[in-house]
Amino acid sequence: MKKVFYIILLIFVCKAYSQTTTELTLNNFLYSKDIEVAHKSYLHIIKNQNKYKDLIYKNLIKCSRDTKQVNIPDRLIYIATYIKDKDFINPLTDLISNKDYSDNSCIYSCPIVFSLAIYSCFTEYKLSSKFDPKITPVKDLMETIKYINKISLAKESPSKNCRGPGIDSLLKSTEKLSFNEIIRQAGPQNHNYKSRYAAAVVLEATTDDDKYLDDLYWLAITEVKDASCEFRSAIYQAIYRAETARRLKNK
Bigger pLDDT: 168 vs 244 = 244
What is the length of the chain?
Answer: 251
Bigger pLDDT: 130 vs 208 = 208
120-155 confidence digits (pLDDT tens): 999 999 887 777 878 888 899 999 999 999 999 999
**Non-local CB neighbours of 229 within 8 Å, separated by 6+ positions:** 107, 108, 109, 223
Rounded Cα distance, 23 and 145, in Å: 33
182-207 confidence digits (pLDDT tens): 999 999 999 999 999 999 999 999 99
Give the model's confidence band at 8: pLDDT under 50 very low, under 70 low, under 90 confident, else very high: very low
Phi-psi region of 84 (alpha: psi -120 to 50; beta: other; left: phi over 0): left
pLDDT score for 7 = 44
Bigger pLDDT: 4 vs 231 = 231
pTM, two decimals, is: 0.89
Closest-CA residue to 203 (of 165, 152, 155): 155
Average pLDDT, the chain: 87
Give the model's confidence band at 72: pLDDT under 50 very low, under 70 low, under 90 confident, else very high: confident
pLDDT score for 5 = 43
Average of per-residue pLDDT across 47-67: 89
DSSP code string of 31-65: H-S-HHHHHHHHHHHHHSHHHHHHHHHHHHHHHHT
Average of per-residue pLDDT across 102-106: 78
